[in-house]
Chain A
Amino acid sequence: GQQVMQIPQYQHVQEGEDFTTYCNSSTTLSNIQWYKQRPGGHPVFLIQLVKSGEVKKQKRLTFQFGEAKKNSSLHITATQTTDVGTYFCADFNDYKLSFGAGTTVTVRA
């Protein structure tokens, strides 16, 4: 089964607003990867977090790894229509990448 749990499952956002999606685990994670899948597309790698408390930014996206390495978050500021899609966190464990269920984001203009 899935080791990582993502919340919320769906996020409906007004264009221009901020939102955060979360990835939680009951066990310590070695590292976390984030992927984005556009509707009808395939998952595309966004970023990897390895260190406790690590924060990385990609333009309007901010990724964070918890201090205990049991959770991670993705925060998007000033949401745009191009942010539509499903965001997955994935746990790289035992050389396998196991995906969470994803947060599906829709944007209303």
Chain B
Amino acid sequence: DARVTQTPRHKVTEMGQEVTMRCQPILGHNTVFWYRQTMMQGLELLAYFRNRAPLDDSGMPKDRFSAEMPDATLATLKIQPSEPRDSAVYFCASGLMGIGSPLHFGNGTRLTVT
């Protein structure tokens, strides 16, 4: 069963540290999304890529967050420096281009910044 793989599953770090989250999309999928989930804000879209090109990162705090796809098998989301308000579950999802194509989510990275 093909699935989206995210690492790490859990990350606890101190404020000010750099955090890197990784995602391996399903082979053949050409769109990758990063979402952040909190109790207060729900599922927020941070960034998305199509064919590895960033199309929209308007949901992402630009000063500290960055998202990249160095190749088709890897997407990264980096926070530098991290802050306690960044504590959340970060999901990566991949899909095929086209209206109505379902997204396949990874298990998420639960980030805690102290």
Q: Enumerate chain A interface residues (CB-CB to B < 8 A).
A: 2, 30-31, 33, 41-45, 48, 50, 88, 92, 95-102
**A45 cross-chain contacts in B, Cβ below 8 A:** 102-104
Question: B108 touching A2 by the CB < 8 A rule?
Answer: no
Question: B99 touching A2 by the CB < 8 A rule?
Answer: no
Question: B100 touching A96 by the CB < 8 A rule?
Answer: no
Question: A98 touching B107 by the CB < 8 A rule?
Answer: no
Residues of B14-49 at the interface with A, using a CB-CB cut-off of 8 Å, are: 31, 33, 35, 42-43, 45, 48
Number of A-B contacts (CB under 8 A): 51
Given the known interface contacts A48-B100, A92-B100, A97-B103, the answer about A42 and B45 at a Cβ–Cβ threshold of 8 Å is no
Question: A48 touching B102 by the CB < 8 A rule?
Answer: yes
Nearest residue in A to B6 (C-beta to C-beta)? A42
Distance, CA A44 to CA B56, complexed state (A): 23
Question: B105 touching A99 by the CB < 8 A rule?
Answer: no
Distance, CA A48 to CA B102, complexed state (A): 8
Nearest residue in A to B58 (C-beta to C-beta)? A96
In the assembled complex, how far is the CB of residue B1 from the closest CB belonging to chain A, in whole angstroms? 12
